[in-house]
Amino acid sequence: MVFLHLSARLSIALGKNATIANSPRARLTPLVTYYSTSSTAKTTPSYSYVIIGAGSAGCVLANRLSENPSESILLLEAGPKDMLLGSTRLSWKIHMPAALTYNLCDDKYNWFYHTLPQAGLDGRVMYWPRGRVWGGSSSLNAMVYIRGHAQDYNRWHGQGADGWDYDHCLPYFRKAQSHELGADRYRGRNGPLHVSQGKTDHPLHHAFIEAGQQAGYPFTDDMNGYQQEGFGWMDMTIHKGKRWSTASAYLRPALSRPNLKAEVHCLTTRVLFDGTRAVGVEYQQNGQVKKVFADKEVILSGGAINSPQLLMLSGVGDGDHLKELGIPVIQHLPGVGSNLQDHLEIYVQQQCTQPITLFKAQKPFHMLKIGLEWLLCFTGYGATTHLESGGFIRSRPGVTHPDIQFHFLPSQVVDHGRIKPTLEAYQVHVGPMRSTSVGWLKLRSRNPSDHPIIQPNYLSTDNDVWELRQCVKLAREIFAQKAFEPFRGPEVMPGAIFQSDSDIDAFVRQKTESAYHPSCTCKMGAPTDRGAVVDPDTRVYGLEGLRVVDASIMPSMVSGNLNAPTIMIAEKAADAIKGLVPLCDSNVPVYQPPSLETQR
């Protein structure tokens, strides 16, 4: 084994040509040339594992793999650290929960992606913020901790991700988590990821939960436990008033280990191969091109956009597409970049007749007071995202588990938060969980700095249009309940003029936005699935020493937000990389509707 590693390094260092033999999954026979000098073998550092991306998955892997002191780990991140001089106060834009919109609109910590114009959304170009910083998107997101439904993971198992059913995933959710309410069959107690539950006394949050029950839906005391279905308080990755990203939970506690090194401002440009074995990576840092070797494995954790992009830049993807760009083909895998899925959502807004929303809190004087309280005590309005209540329901009879999600906010959001609210209003973000439109992404060029071409194909099926229309109708029904009578003013969005199905459909096409949940672009599946990119142990098909571990390997979207499932994926993959027997908890009870003949 040692000889193989030395041979791999020398073949790169000496600039040898490598001819790659066809594997059972290969369609093309490539010829690859590496350009370097003979001195590289003497100067290039080597680690057991090289992890690309210090995001929601990469930080988890860095922590878990470095638990073994005999292994050496290098973590490369394209963005900066998530703290200035190690201070959460100096880095308040990341660590103050209420300040989340600042980073969604700032390219300092954000890849700032955009899609192609979307025919289903009146030709609009959609904005996709993604984290480019320690913690990745867990340092930018709304800190909502939702796992999805048990049936999502059982579906994965049925789609070829053997061993990723709910019985095998739930223990890793528990392992990751330290829930403030303590442990039970569903919650964890001792994990690195601190999770809190909404506890606000704001009357609008209470009205929303009560209105859901008045409309005929159940109350749930834990959306991540026995019963996802219903209305209740949401879990959040907030700890002692601060954002609890994977950088805070996993990476920072592990940095004192001598066998873990984390580098920033490193744009990885390609994976290096010797034959069909990944042996290292090339990256750019501070204007220099560098290489590093991996004695055991290279692990891509760049997310649903960066991981397939890096695979394609490295010659792994659809062979015809790569040849068009002049990229030598290492492995023909047409599934790389395909199967792109995302959640859409739309805002339904109601004017509030009482001055109790967050409208006043966003005035300069009040923002200063809120900021000072948070900086001094980590308490007050700055210590929450205010997305503390929500719900999951089924859109129609016959649906087996919830396919519509609500996030309630006692405020008005305009243009991703880039425009300040104009009046006292509250809103609900509502969207379908399992849309049928599927898209793709491809390289724009061979330049690693060029963003890929992103085509989600939003609303390309009649089913998806119907679901969003239904979302608007059901949200209106919630806001029409008695619980909102003391607060209900005129509807702001869509507005009274949007009543017919065609009117609502027009509103949907004009105003629907991404929920920022791209996934599934390097899907996990069986060897017989031509669209699969990785096997159930997260290894890239047809190659050695290369894995993908992040949201891109989901076979299909989960029914909820993506951060909690991505952390679970990394926890489970870490055990697979270590060669451990996977955790399992069989026959955990899961709520089933009394009847599928009714919607509620």
Closest listed residue to residue 280, CA positions, set 524, 515, 52: 52
Residue 235, φ and ψ in degrees, nearest 5: -80, 150
Closest listed residue to residue 464, CA positions, set 563, 561, 342: 342
pLDDT, residue 486, reads: 97
The structure tokens listed for 377 are: 């005590």
pLDDT tens-digit series, residues 263-289: 999 999 999 999 999 999 999 999 999
* Rounded (10°) CA dihedral 173, 179, 184, 190: 70
What is the DSSP pairing of strand 546-548 with strand 193-197?
A: unpaired
pLDDT, residue 20, reads: 32
pLDDT, residue 107, reads: 84
Spatial separation of the C-alpha atoms in residues 275 and 544, rounded to whole Å? 9
**Averaged over 39-62, what is the pLDDT?**
88
DSSP 361-408: GGSHHHHHHHHHHHHHHS-GGGG--S--EEEEE-SSTT-SS--EEEEE
Report the alpha-carbon angle 133-136-139, nearest 5. 85
Residue 9 has pLDDT above 60, yes or no: no
Residue 470 has pLDDT above 70, yes or no: yes
Q: Which helix (H) or strand (E) holds 449?
A: none
DSSP 233-291: EPEE-EETTEE--HIIIIIHHHTTSTTEEEE-SEEEEEEEEETTEEEEEEEEETTEEEE
Residue 496 has pLDDT above 60, yes or no: yes
Return all residues near 460 (Cβ < 8 A) that are at least 6 apart.
119, 120, 437
**Averaged over 282-306, what is the pLDDT?**
98
**Averaged over 211-238, what is the pLDDT?**
98
What's the chain's length in residues?
Answer: 600
For 30, 312, 336, the CA distances from 22, given in Å and listed in that order, are 9, 18, 18
pLDDT, residue 24, reads: 32
Closest listed residue to residue 217, CA positions, set 473, 349, 433, 392: 392
Mean pLDDT of all residues belonging to the chain? 92
What sign does the dihedral 184-227-560-392 (CA atoms) show? negative
pLDDT tens-digit series, residues 149-191: 999 999 999 999 999 999 999 999 999 999 999 999 999 999 9
**Averaged over 236-248, what is the pLDDT?**
97
pLDDT, residue 19, reads: 32
Threshold 0.85, pTM exceeds: yes
pLDDT, residue 419, reads: 80
Q: For residue 344, what are the β-bridge partners?
A: 514
DSSP 8-state code for residue 337: T
Q: Which of the residue ranges 39-43, 303-307, 498-502 would you say has the lowest mean pLDDT? A: 39-43
pLDDT band at 580 (very low <50, low <70, confident <90, very high): very high
Q: Which of the residue ranges 72-86, 302-316, 407-421 would you say has the lowest mean pLDDT? A: 407-421
Residue 31 has pLDDT above 80, yes or no: no
Residue 206 annotated among the catalytic residues of the structure: no
pLDDT, residue 86, reads: 86
Percent of the chain topping pLDDT 70? 93
pLDDT tens-digit series, residues 103-128: 888 788 999 999 999 999 999 999 99
Residue 3 has pLDDT above 70, yes or no: no
Return all residues near 159 (Cβ < 8 A) that are at least 6 apart.
525, 555, 556
DSSP 60-93: HHHHHHTTSTTS-EEEE-SS--SSBTTBTTTTHH
pLDDT, residue 564, reads: 98
DSSP 503-567: HHHHHHHHH-EE-S--B-TT-B--TT-TT--B-TT-BBTT-BSEEE-SGGG-SS--SS-SHHHHH
The structure tokens listed for 267 are: 């744009």
Q: Which helix (H) or strand (E) holds 306?
A: helix 303-313
Residue 441 has pLDDT above 90, yes or no: yes
pLDDT, residue 487, reads: 98
Q: Prior bond to 494 cis, omega within 30? A: yes
pLDDT, residue 417, reads: 74
Q: Which helix (H) or strand (E) holds 48?
A: strand 46-52
Q: Is there a contact between 237 and 138 (Cβ–Cβ < 8 Å)?
A: yes
Q: Is there a contact between 56 and 246 (Cβ–Cβ < 8 Å)?
A: yes
Give the active site residue among 5, 168, 401, 517: 517
pLDDT, residue 268, reads: 98
Query: Can you list the domains of the chain with their CATH numbers?
Result: 2-81+247-337+520-577 (3.50.50.60), 92-125+192-240+341-514 (3.30.560.10)
pLDDT, residue 426, reads: 97
Q: Which helix (H) or strand (E) holds 491?
A: strand 488-493
pLDDT, residue 413, reads: 87
pLDDT band at 199 (very low <50, low <70, confident <90, very high): confident
3-state secondary structure of 310: helix
Spatial separation of the C-alpha atoms in residues 478 and 395, rounded to whole Å? 13
Residue 22 has pLDDT above 60, yes or no: no
Residue 1 has pLDDT above 80, yes or no: no
